[in-house]
Amino acid sequence: MSKNRVSWAEMLDVLTDSDREKTIVVERATETERMALFLLRRAGFSVQVASKTQKNYDLEAVRDNVSFAVQVSNQRAKVHLGQIEKFLDFLAHSDSGNFNEGLFISTSGFTKSVYTHLREEKYRHLRLAMLHDNQLDWEPEKNDAADDASKTIYIGVFTCKGGVGKTTISAHLAGAFALNGYDVALVDLDRQQNLRKLLGEGLYLPATKGKLGSVISVLSHDEWDETAYKGTKIVVCDCNPEFDANPIEFIRKFDYCLVPTTLNPLGVNKNADVIKRTFNQIRRENAKAHLFVLINSLQKDEESRNIILNEILEAQFEQFIERDKRCHYINPDKVAIRFSKQLLYWGFHIFDKSKPQLAFRTVGRYSYPRMDFLKLVDYLEMRTPINKAKTFSALVR
Ligand SMILES: Nc1ncnc2c1ncn2[C@@H]1O[C@H](COP(=O)(O)OP(=O)(O)O)[C@@H](O)[C@H]1O
Ligand SMILES: [Mg+2]
């Protein structure tokens, strides 16, 4: 343990100016929040515990006339992009008018997707810090434990019918991994060979400051070779809709399979059966893969209708998931691929002869496709046994 360990009594004396405040700190703040409060005061901030009813932040901190809403997380897993998105939404909302900036403090660090998102969006009003060994680390990315995959991860994207977004999802999921610093092989198993037509041999995602660029190589099934592509640890396959046409060696290797579907009244009752059939076919060949239903083309401004449609669809997977713990229905509350114009017209470069690129351009506040696919990466990584042991042992002492 760290040498500058302080007792709670000692800390309370330093951090509280009055008996009243002392009572508030003791009653309302968790141990981690108290530690954060103490460390922020020591760094020259004036800090208060947020009111009991405040759900968006835990502490209020002010320094040099800049006021921060501070969220403190002491969960065991790294803070993921969905949590950061909620906090950013709060900061952008008028309720947060008292604050100039946000500060997110985590005891376990942040996922790669969080760092990628903040880097790509160049947020100035959100800072991250890691709390460990009784210290605040203001540059957590630099000191975060490396969690590079030790084994190659295989992901298959299936659909029960054409046009639901298999190719779109394969390409952009590969893109999100590449933004996170992984080289990716995008294997085209579909006889339409759309990936080849859209991306040719592949894409290079250039480096952003202090980072290496990443490569997405588009390959056919017989071109993929684990030993030849040694540095490539992520393989995303755009699968053939006809199950038996997919090379069996890929089916057996999949760690994750995604089946995209959409929320609409006519599809919601019939699609579930086809998805379950696909799940069963995969399961016959592969006992270990995690299988996911993913909602694509979600209309984000249609909350009440989506809630009803989602309940109907999700209910059809209840028993299935009960029997097979490695099947998951991704609640669109957590992750979904939202409908976006960028994704709708992605691939238009074939017609106007421009250079291929992914639909990750920032429009308005941020790029929804980029946000959604980075969140999907987080979601998959949270369910992987790979990395976890290493990350936890490095961070939880
Ligand atoms: N999230 C989305 N938002 C908007 N349009 C989408 C989205 N996902 C897919 N599309 C549209 O649907 C079309 C068909 O998707 P595609 O990925 O080719 O499906 P599949 O490979 O399953 O046949 C795409 O060309 C795109 O126009
Ligand atoms: Mg396709």
Per residue in 169-207, pLDDT (tens digit) is 999 999 999 999 999 999 999 988 899 999 998 999 876
Is residue 148 scored above 60 in pLDDT? yes
In the chain, which residues fall in CATH 3.40.50.300?
Answer: 153-384
| Total residue length of the chain | 397
Q: How confident is the model at residue 1 (pLDDT cuts 50, 70, 90)?
A: very low
Q: How confident is the model at residue 21 (pLDDT cuts 50, 70, 90)?
A: confident
CB-ligand 1 contact for 162 (6 Å cutoff)? yes
CB-ligand 1 contact for 300 (6 Å cutoff)? no
C-alpha 143/C-alpha 106 separation (Å) is: 13
E strand map for 43-148: 46-49, 59-63, 66-73, 101-106, 126-132, 135-137
Is residue 130 scored above 50 in pLDDT? yes
Is residue 133 scored above 80 in pLDDT? yes
Which numbered atom of ligand 1 lies nearest the CA of 159?
22
Average pLDDT of the residues in 56-65 = 95
Residue type, 308: I
Which numbered atom of ligand 1 lies nearest the CA of 369?
1
DSSP conformational letter for 244 = G
Q: What is the pLDDT of residue 16?
A: 64
Average pLDDT of the residues in 25-38 = 88
Full DSSP string of 165-221? SHHHHHHHHHHHHHHTT-EEEEEE-STT-HHHHHHTTEEEE---TT---EEEEEEET
Q: What is the pLDDT of residue 162?
A: 82
| Residue identifier of the C-alpha nearest atom 3 of ligand 1 | 339
Please check whether residue 370 is in contact with residue 117, taking contact to mean a CB–CB distance below 8 angstroms: yes
In the chain, which residues fall in CATH 3.40.1350.10?
Answer: 8-143
How would CATH label the architecture of 153-384?
Answer: 3-Layer(aba) Sandwich (3.40)
Q: Report which of residues 370 and 389 the model is more confident about.
A: 370
294 pairs with which residues across the strands?
Answer: 260
CB-ligand 1 contact for 336 (6 Å cutoff)? no
**Among residues of the chain, what percentage have pLDDT more than 70?**
89
Q: What angle do CA 60, 66, 67 make, to 5 degrees?
A: 20
Going from the C-alpha of 228 to that of each of 156, 186, 187, 213, the distances in angstroms are: 21, 15, 15, 19
CA of 197 to the centre of ligand 1 (A): 15
CA of 334 to the centre of ligand 2 (A): 25
Pocket test for ligand 1, best of 196, 343, 351, 371 (most atoms within 8 A of CB): 343
CB-ligand 1 contact for 297 (6 Å cutoff)? yes
Going from the C-alpha of 257 to that of each of 183, 291, 293, 379, the distances in angstroms are: 19, 5, 9, 13
Q: Report which of residues 9 and 42 the model is more confident about.
A: 42
Nearest to 186, CA basis, from 167, 208, 160, 205:
167
User: Does the domain formed by 8-143 have CATH 3.40.1350.10?
Assistant: yes
DSSP conformational letter for 161 = S
CA of 166 to the centre of ligand 1 (A): 7
For the chain, helix, strand, coil in percent to 5 are 40, 20, 40
Which numbered atom of ligand 1 lies nearest the CA of 190?
21
Is residue 393 scored above 80 in pLDDT? no
Pocket test for ligand 1, best of 166, 168, 306, 373 (most atoms within 8 A of CB): 168
| Predicted TM-score of the model (pTM) | 0.91
Q: What is the pLDDT of residue 391?
A: 39
CA of 194 to the centre of ligand 2 (A): 6
Hey, what are 52's tokens? 């009991």
CA of 375 to the centre of ligand 1 (A): 19
Nearest to 236, CA basis, from 150, 157, 293, 336:
157
Instruction: Report which bound ligand comes closest to the CA of 346.
Output: 1
The mean-pLDDT minimum among 261-270, 315-324, 336-345 falls in 261-270
C-alpha 259/C-alpha 241 separation (Å) is: 11
Residues 6+ apart with CB under 8 A from 174: 184, 186, 216, 234, 236
CA of 39 to the centre of ligand 1 (A): 49
Cα 169 to its chain centre, rounded Å, is 14
CA of 159 to the centre of ligand 2 (A): 9
User: In terms of DSSP bridges, do strands 256-261 and 183-188 run parallel, antiparallel, or are they unpaired?
Assistant: unpaired
Terminal alpha carbon distance of the chain? 8
Which numbered atom of ligand 1 lies nearest the CA of 298?
1
Hey, what are 380's tokens? 């998959």
CA of 167 to the centre of ligand 2 (A): 4
Is residue 124 scored above 90 in pLDDT? no
Is residue 117 scored above 80 in pLDDT? yes
Q: What is the pLDDT of residue 389?
A: 36
Q: How confident is the model at residue 365 (pLDDT cuts 50, 70, 90)?
A: confident
300 pairs with which residues across the strands?
Answer: none
| Residue identifier of the C-alpha nearest atom 9 of ligand 1 | 165
CB-ligand 1 contact for 168 (6 Å cutoff)? yes
CB-ligand 1 contact for 344 (6 Å cutoff)? yes
C-alpha 112/C-alpha 110 separation (Å) is: 7
Q: What is the pLDDT of residue 382?
A: 84
Average pLDDT of the residues in 133-146 = 86
